[in-house]
Structure 1
Amino acid sequence: MSQPGRSPLSTVFLLHIALEAPLAVQGIWFPTSLPFLQLNNTTIVVLKMYATLVLSVCIIALLCFPLPEFLPGKRALAIGLCVYHSIISTVLFQAPRFIPYSFGPFFEAYKVTPEIVWGCFHGFLGLGFVAWWQSTVAFTQMMKRAE
């Protein structure tokens, strides 16, 4: 059961962590073991910097998850994550193949690749943050009226 002023849709913050944390941890400590093509010294450094940023945002999401829905900081993070996941989804949909794995010939025939699936996960998270935002507008309006 959720607490007053809390939406069960806040789990979208935890879903963000579940999607991003594995890449962040592996990208910081074992970047060359990531299944990406053509990693060189420059891309490894940029990947480590990106992974550090992603890990930081995961920590922020974890800290914001239990906060009430009407707080401006939580809402700002949510809109930022919505924009992030929406753009990353588009980038992954348009990316050339850079993950050297396949789901098999059947899925390849329908253009279902790891990049597309990863992009779908980001797209669903972007929609999840929009749903959270819209479902919590009433909490925010109640708090404004209470002031």
Structure 2
Amino acid sequence: MSALNTIFAAHGVVQAAIALQLLLLPHATTFIIPHELDLTQVLLLRFYGAGVACIAIISLLCRDMPNMLPCKRGAAAGFLFYHMIMTLVVFQSRNDGPLPVETSWGLSAFHGIQAFVLYAWYTATAGQVKAFLKQGNEANKQKHH
């Protein structure tokens, strides 16, 4: 597995761990949400866990695909925007939201780092896409001549 594919594997594993915790043990989030959860909050945490599980599955399935495939790059772009949005939402609610300020800063940093790593992957693999497209164009020219 290449170093660039390790990013997808690590992303999938981290997201899977979070998803399992939210799906199976939503009450164990007291380190993030420091109050007793009611049934609606537990249900919403489980819904969020299901969404995070989907992200984990997609990330793990994409990890061994070639980096120039549009589906892998599309998945990376989707993950990137998800983490950027989460960073902004959590950061903006740090002073008046339901989470303690320290937790908001930590979650903002967590999502921001993931967004940065995914952006770095997207940028680093752009050369592979260009080389692949160039190779395909040259093959088509030779085929038609």
Give the aligned length: 130
What are the residue-to-residue correspondences of 1:55-74 with 2, within 5 Å? 55-74=53-72
Tell me how far 1:118 sits from its aligned partner: 2.0
Are 2:109 and 1:114 aligned? no
Amino acid at match of 2:99: F
Q: Secondary structure at the match of 1:68?
A: coil
Q: TM-score, normalised by structure 2?
A: 0.80
Q: Which residue of 2 aligns with 1:14?
A: 9
* Greater gyration radius: 2
Distance in structure 1 (CA, Å) of the matches to 2:46 and 2:8: 23
Quote the Cα distance in structure 1 between the aligned partners of 2:7 and 2:104: 21
How far residue 58 of structure 1 moved from its aligned partner, in angstroms, is 0.3
Equivalent position of 2:126 in the other structure: 137
Partner residue, 2:37: 39
Question: Which structure 2 residue ranges, 5 or more long, are not aligned?
Answer: 137-145
Q: State the shift of 1:10 in Å.
A: 3.0
State the distance in 1 between where 2:23 and 2:51 align.
10
Q: Which runs of 5+ in 1 are unaligned?
A: 3-7, 100-110
CA distance 1:9–1:17, change in 2 (3 Å): same
Q: CA deviation at 1:117?
A: 1.6
Runs of 4+ in 1 over 6 A off after TM superposition: none
- In 2, Cα distance between the equivalents of 1:94 and 1:124? 17
Question: Which one of the candidate residues 116, 125, 135 is aligned to 1:146?
Answer: 135
| Separation (CA, whole Å) in 2 of partners of 1:38 and 1:92 | 20
Paired residue for 2:141?
A: none
Work out whether 1:84 is the aligned partner of 2:82: yes
The residue number in structure 2 matching 1:49 is 47
Q: Deviations over 1:2-33 (max 9, x none)?
A: 3xxxxx23322233234322321111111122
Shift in Å, 1:38: 5.1
Larger RCO (alpha carbons 8 Å, 6+ apart): 1
Contact 2:15 2:55 survives alignment (8 Å) = no
Alignment-derived partner of residue 123 in structure 1:
112
- Aligned equivalents of 1:115, 1:21: Cα separation in 2: 21
What value does the CA root-mean-square deviation take over the aligned residues? Answer: 1.9
